[in-house]
Amino acid sequence: MHTPKVYVATILVYVMATVLTILNLSVVTVIFAMLVLLIYHLVLHATQKVENEHRQKEERKALLYQLDKTQKQTHEAAGRFLTLLEVIDSGLLFIDENELIKEANETFNRFFSLGSIIGETYETLKPIKSLYRVVHDAFLKETKLRQQIVIDQQSYDANISPVFEGKWFRGCLVVIHDITPIKTAEMFQKQFTADVSHELKTPLSAVKGISEILMRETNMDAAQRQDFINMIYHETNRLEAILSDLLIISKMDRLDYELKRENTSMKALIDESVTLLEPAATEKQLTLTADVRDVMLAVDPVKMRQVIINLIKNGLSYTDTGGVTIRAHKQGSMYRILVTDTGIGIPKDEQAKVFKRFYRVDEARSRASGGSGLGLSIIKNVVQKHGGTIALESREGDGSTFIVDLPLIPEID
């Protein structure tokens, strides 16, 4: 392509020729002049060509650099994407329009242990019947499907989405979440509701039954009537205790539940609890002693007092002779509280279960003492919320020791 410079040179040639003709110069001079101009024109043209070539080379170089950069970026993005696919907590599978598995991440393999499936058709999913069926359906209908599947007691939520490029079906993306913890919590909640209903129903039925007798038997003697009234009182007390424990549990189960920590003298807290329960011990002719080293701990004093009181109460409830002793001292990085009784003890195979909600080793005995079976589960929850642990050492018929370890949390300012 000619640049303005070339045009200017060409015009100059013609202008010169015209001028020379006008000035009536000799033909040789004119030819010479024209030759000079032609050479000038050619040199200019050659220079221009070199310049153009150089510029094009530079442009090509810049373009190549840009292309290389874009390729590198794409490669890096693809790498990042693949790493993400691998580390993501959901199982991912991509099946193309020819029904071939093109991608299966590590999590998918961990969930279903199908071995190497890339390059296989999705028929290879057949061992996981429910997953295969829903993938197959999604392929047939080219539509989004969702299905919960259970394999080896694990629950999964499978989402199958068709992938389209414009209007062309390009395959299906399968995303699988492990929802076992949610399902377990759901089941736990259902069981808890059933247990609560059962626990409330028993005393309520008793109250109802006794009231009906009292209404019907108008000629009952005073002593018997009093017995029935006492029974109603006992059952309503139980109902009240269950409801108050349930309220504590539901408060502590809240995600935003926070302990109200205060710098607390553990000796003062334990001594207060002992003083409170001395009358109950005396009434059962049991001893209640404490040997406590003091330490200041940042605990929730109300909740921690409930822990100590409930452990002592249990000791007194399940002991007929002897008594309960509380010891407390520093043990490494922990403050250890031991509540020991000389009572009926807990059989080995029941020891883990007693911390479960509503669990009672001897239902009749616990009911007689007004127990709801919620005490130890609340104690465990409070101790854990303080960052501590609770353990149990016991032999049937030989007493029990509950051991609470609390971290020696520095005092709060």
Ligand X SMILES: Nc1ncnc2c1ncn2[C@@H]1O[C@H](COP(=O)(O)OP(=O)(O)OP(=O)(O)O)[C@@H](O)[C@H]1O
List contacts with Mg ion (CB under 5 A): 314, 375
* Closest distance of CB 208 from ligand X, Å: 22
Beta bridge partners of residue 160, listed in sequence order: 145, 174
Q: Which residue is nearest to ligand X (CB)?
A: 375
Q: Where are the alpha helices (DSSP H) in 88-179?
A: 106-112, 129-141
Cβ neighbours for 82, distance < 8 A, ≥ 6 positions apart? none
Asked if 120 and 100 touch (Cβ cutoff 8 Å), the reply is yes
| H/E stretch holding 122 | none
Asked if 383 interacts with ligand X (CB under 6 A), we say no
372 binds, among ligand X, Mg ion, none (CB under 5 to 8 A by kind): ligand X
Task: Select the residue interacting with ligand X from 105, 124, 372, 381 (CB under 6 A).
Answer: 372
Task: Select the residue interacting with ligand X from 277, 318, 325, 382 (CB under 6 A).
Answer: 318
* Closest distance of CB 407 from ligand X, Å: 24
**Which residues 226-265 are close enough to bind ligand X by CB under 6 A?**
245
344 binds, among ligand X, Mg ion, none (CB under 5 to 8 A by kind): ligand X
The total of other beta-carbon atoms located within 10 Å of residue 72's CB is 10
Please provide residue 360's backbone torsions phi and psi, each rounded to the nearest 5 degrees: -135, 135
Q: For residue 345, which of 377, 321, 327 has the smallest C-alpha distance?
A: 321
- Which stretch, 32-40, 108-116, 141-149, 370-378, contacts ligand X (CB under 6 A)? 370-378
* Closest distance of CB 330 from ligand X, Å: 24
Q: Is the dihedral of CA 313, 318, 324, 327 positive or negative?
A: negative
Q: Looking at beta carbons only, is 314 or 400 nearer to Mg ion?
A: 314
Asked if 355 and 377 touch (Cβ cutoff 8 Å), the reply is yes
Q: Looking at beta carbons only, is 41 or 303 nearer to Mg ion?
A: 303
Q: Looking at beta carbons only, is 37 or 270 nearer to Mg ion?
A: 270
400 binds, among Mg ion, ligand X, none (CB under 5 to 8 A by kind): ligand X
362 binds, among Mg ion, ligand X, none (CB under 5 to 8 A by kind): ligand X
Asked if 373 interacts with ligand X (CB under 6 A), we say yes
Could you write out the DSSP letters of every residue in 164-204? EETTEEEEEEEEEEE-HHHHHHHHHHHHHHHHHHHHHHHHH
Asked if 329 and 402 touch (Cβ cutoff 8 Å), the reply is no
3-state secondary structure of 110: helix
Q: Looking at beta carbons only, is 281 or 297 nearer to ligand X?
A: 281
* Closest distance of CB 394 from Mg ion, Å: 14
* Closest distance of CB 279 from ligand X, Å: 18
Q: How far is the C-alpha of 12 from the C-alpha of 37, rounded, in Å?
A: 8
* Closest distance of CB 238 from ligand X, Å: 9
Q: Looking at beta carbons only, is 265 or 306 nearer to Mg ion?
A: 306
* Closest distance of CB 353 from ligand X, Å: 8
Could you write out the DSSP letters of every residue in 246-298? HHHHHHHHSTT-----EEEEHHHHHHHHHHHHHHHHHHTT-EEEEEE---EEE
* Closest distance of CB 310 from Mg ion, Å: 6
* Closest distance of CB 309 from Mg ion, Å: 10
346 binds, among Mg ion, ligand X, none (CB under 5 to 8 A by kind): ligand X
| H/E stretch holding 374 | none
Asked if 314 interacts with ligand X (CB under 6 A), we say yes
Task: Select the residue interacting with ligand X from 342, 375, 383, 404 (CB under 6 A).
Answer: 375
* Closest distance of CB 285 from Mg ion, Å: 20
Please provide residue 280's backbone torsions phi and psi, each rounded to the nearest 5 degrees: -65, -40
Asked if 362 interacts with ligand X (CB under 6 A), we say yes
320 binds, among ligand X, Mg ion, none (CB under 5 to 8 A by kind): none
Cβ neighbours for 121, distance < 8 A, ≥ 6 positions apart? 99, 100, 101
The site that binds ligand X (CB under 6 A) totals a number of residues, namely: 23
Q: How far is the C-alpha of 52 from the C-alpha of 57, rounded, in Å?
A: 8
Site string for ligand X, 331-360 (x = CB under 6 A): ----------x-xx-x-------x----xx
Q: Looking at beta carbons only, is 133 or 367 nearer to ligand X?
A: 367
The strand order across the sheet containing 91-96 reads: 101-104, 91-96, 168-178, 154-165, 145-151
Interacting residue ranges for ligand X, rule: CB under 6 A: 245, 310, 314-315, 318, 341, 343-344, 346, 354, 359-362, 366, 371-377, 400
